[in-house]
């Protein structure tokens, strides 16, 4: 079975305490919601103490167009993505020795919070000496499930090519999509939950020559499940100023009543 032989995470440079996020949200939303204090309890209910974001907190209280947001997305995705890939390939906690980039056969790049063509993985390949025949598989638009889907696709790749070594790089900068003039409850809930981060995993096939110095998890299997006519549950509305969050109040019920039983039956 394919194995996850190394992982890394990289955080962006600015830390925001949950109390700071509450104050920013109060200052932006209080004129539109008479019951703002009741709504702000969602920050407490999330049990989140702090988050790390790409920009200083003052930036989020200012107006920004789609072009500026997306340029920041590309900049941070490339820089932090390079850091995550290097940390994953040089992880002494699980790898017997550092993995040379030339040993990587495919890169799955996962993201939903910005747009880049050429894709971010191509830009990273200009900065790290991967082979020029390394397969690139950018996957956009899967949202919260993107990282899991990327691992699933890497698993299938390694099953088909058991000598392969595959990177899954997931980049999400939810804070760069924040719309200070979006007074929907979806936006308020999104602010209370989401932030920024980058993660990378190295997955190897059964005949890979990469060796580890400890027991690592194997991927037993994967599955997929589509909920029909669920476009209004979670996603983006794309407007002139960027991405506007779609976040249905039915999500907890869907997870409990549909996704849970579906996962157990798969």
Q: Give the burial string for 213-228 (b: 16+ CB within 10 Å, else e).
A: eeebeebeeeeeeeee
How many CA atoms, within 13 angstroms, populate the side-chain half-sphere of residue 64? 23
Active-site position among 88, 144, 158, 174: 144
Q: Catalytic annotation on 54?
A: no
Tokens of 142: 């899967």
In total, the chain counts a number of residues equal to: 266
In angstroms, the CA 185 to CA 178 distance is 13
Give the burial class of 190: count Cβ atoms within 10 A of its Cβ; 0-12 exposed, 13-18 middle, 19 or more buried.
buried
CB atoms within 10 A of CB 159: 16
Distance of CA 14 to the CA centre of its chain: 17
In angstroms, the CA 152 to CA 145 distance is 11
The answer to whether 195 and 54 have CB atoms below 8 angstroms apart is no
In angstroms, the CA 28 to CA 37 distance is 13
Point out the residues that are catalytic: 144
């Amino acid at each position: 079975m394919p194995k996850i032989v190394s992982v890394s995470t990289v955080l962006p440079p600015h830390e925001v305490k949950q109390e700071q996020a509450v104050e920013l949200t109060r200052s932006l939303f209080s004129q539109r919601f008479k019951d703002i204090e009741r709504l702000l309890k969602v920050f407490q209910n999330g049990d989140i103490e702090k988050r790390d974001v790409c920009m200083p907190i003052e930036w989020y209280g200012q107006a920004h167009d789609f072009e500026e947001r997306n340029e920041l997305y590309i900049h941070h995705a490339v820089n932090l993505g390079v850091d995550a890939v290097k940390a994953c390939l040089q992880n002494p906690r699980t790898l017997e020795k550092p993995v040379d980039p030339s040993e990587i056969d495919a890169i799955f790049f996962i993201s939903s919070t910005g747009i880049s063509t050429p894709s971010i993985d191509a830009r990273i390949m200009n900065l790290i000496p991967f082979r020029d025949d390394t397969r690139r598989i950018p996957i956009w638009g899967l949202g919260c499930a993107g990282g899991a889907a990327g691992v699933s696709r890497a698993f299938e790749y390694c099953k088909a090519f058991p000598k392969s070594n595959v990177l899954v790089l997931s980049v999400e900068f939810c804070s760069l999509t924040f719309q200070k003039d979006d007074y929907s409850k979806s936006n308020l809930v999104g602010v209370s939950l989401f932030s920024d981060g980058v993660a990378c995993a190295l997955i190897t096939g059964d005949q890979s020559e990469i060796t580890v110095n400890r027991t690592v998890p194997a991927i037993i299997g994967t599955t997929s499940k589509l909920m029909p006519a669920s476009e209004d549950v979670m996603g983006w509305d794309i407007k002139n100023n960027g991405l506007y969050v779609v976040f249905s109040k039915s999500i907890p019920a869907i997870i409990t009543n549909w996704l849970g039983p579906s996962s157990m039956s798969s």
